[in-house]
Amino acid sequence: MSETEGQRLAARLEYLFEHVQPLGRRHTLQEVVEGIKAVEDPGGVSLSVGRLSMLMNGKAPNPTIGTLRALAAFFGVPVGYFVDDAVADRTMAQLALITAMRNNDVKAVALRAAAVATLSAEGLDVVRGLVEQAADQPRQHDDKGV
User: CA distances (Å), 82 to each of 15, 34, 73, 141, in order?
Assistant: 11, 21, 12, 39
Q: Please, what is the Cα angle at 17 between 132 and 76, to 5 degrees?
A: 100
Mean pLDDT by 10 residues, the chain (146 residues): 78 94 88 87 78 93 89 94 93 85 61 63 67 61 44
Region of 24 (left: φ > 0; alpha: ψ -120 to 50; beta: rest) is: left
| The pLDDT of residue 71 | 95
How many other β-carbons are positioned within 10 Å of the β-carbon of residue 26? 11
Q: Do 101 and 19 touch, CB atoms closer than 8 A?
A: no
Residues 59, 5: Cα–Cα separation, whole Å:
10
Q: Do 47 and 74 touch, CB atoms closer than 8 A?
A: no
| The pLDDT of residue 138 | 54
Can you state the angle between helices 5-19 and 65-75, rounded to 10 degrees?
20
| The pLDDT of residue 25 | 87
